[in-house]
Amino acid sequence: MVATILDGKAIAGDIRKELADETQAWKAKRGITPCLAAVLVGDHPASEVYVRSKQRACEQAGLESQLHRLPADCREIDLLELIARLNQDHAVHGILVQLPLPSHLHETKILDAIHPMKDVDAFHAENVGRICQGRPRYLPCTPHGIVQLLHRTGIKVSGKQAVVVGRSDIVGKPMAMMLMNRDSTLGPNCANATVTVCHSRTAGLGDITRQADLLVAAIGKPRFVTADMVKPGAVVIDVGINRVGEQLVGDVDFEAVKEIAGHITPVPGGVGPLTVAMLLYNTLLAAKLQNMSA
């Protein structure tokens, strides 16, 4: 069997077009332009690329974007003061602090300083708690993009055995929570899976992943998931972005696994473009939520 390739890039393009239309209509009605403020600390080359692509996507969809830069050796108080200013600024609807931060800055403290209504990455404890309770305000962009991909390609999650490899706060944990919940913003078919979460201390990883109807790999290790770890016909979602020489590769051994899986996302062109699209979705939603009576 050769797997169907799930074209995340094309689906992200559809979502971005829908969001551009929706933004234009909302702007015309309310006279407000949704605005994302990105904060970049230091000059990490990958972070520069990510922030630039998020800004470009904002502009293409008719959203405004701001970039606030601080030096890599900035004091924590300077970053907290910048976030406090952006929290107060009514023209800013979403705030994004690009990760990773330099090690002297306390990530949790910084992310929790963002006002929960402006937390378009959905990393604030309040927004994470709401997802756990099945009443989300914002959904984190990468897992939300994956749910959109599954929904838009007609893949039902409800009742399936899902295995998520990785338990990060950004991908693995919220992904597991969203798949496990009773309902989703796209209906119960996109939730209600039976979910197993694996990590670096998991014993017998392959035995567990081979049970998965839906396998999500968010590990950060190139081509880690091999064909013998995959159930024939499974849906395989590769979140990983790893640079190997000049090449970008995922956490899944794509060439071998595509011969076994039923559906698979490529890298690049799979989950990555959806992450950016869902950031636009959250920024528009943030503008709407902050201007309910405007």
**Catalytic residue set:** 54, 98, 121
Beta bridge partners of 124: none
Min dist. Cβ of residue 257 to ligand NDP (A): 16
Among 28, 31, 88, 201, the residue binding ligand NDP under the rule CB under 6 A is: 201
Per-residue burial over 103-140, b if 16 or more Cβ lie within 10 Å, else e, is eebeeeebbebbbbbbbbbbbbeebbebbeeeebbbbb
Which candidate, 142, 149, 154, 184, places its Cα nearest to that of 11? 149
User: Contact between 242 and ligand NDP (CB under 6 A)?
Assistant: yes
The least distance separating ligand NDP from the CB of residue 217, rounded to whole angstroms, comes to: 8
- Number of shown-chain residues binding ligand NDP (CB under 6 A): 25
Minimum distance of ligand NDP from residue 88's CB (angstroms)? 29
Rounded CA separation 271/58 (Å) = 18
Q: How distant, in Å, are the alpha carbons of 3, 72, 122, 231, 258 from that of 225? A: 15, 35, 28, 12, 11
Closest CB 51 distance from ligand NDP, rounded Å = 13
Backbone angles phi, psi at 97, to 5 degrees: -100, 115
Binding to ligand NDP, residues 272-291 (CB under 6 A)? 272, 275
Whether the ω angle into residue 268 lies within 30 degrees of 0, i.e. cis, is: yes
Q: Mask of contacts with ligand NDP, 113-152, x by CB under 6 A?
A: -----------------------------x----------
Closest approach, Cβ 163 to ligand NDP, in A, equals: 11
Nearer to ligand NDP, 75 or 199 (CB): 199
Q: Which two tokens stand for residue 286?
A: 């943030």
Q: Using CB under 6 A, which of the segments 65-73, 111-119, 131-139, 195-203 binds ligand NDP?
A: 195-203
Burial class of residue 264 in the structure, from the number of CB atoms within 10 Å of its CB (0-12 exposed, 13-18 middle, 19+ buried): buried
Residue closer to ligand NDP, measured from CB, 47 or 242: 242
- Contact residues toward ligand NDP (CB under 6 A) are 142, 165-168, 170-172, 198-202, 205, 218-221, 239-242, 271-272, 275
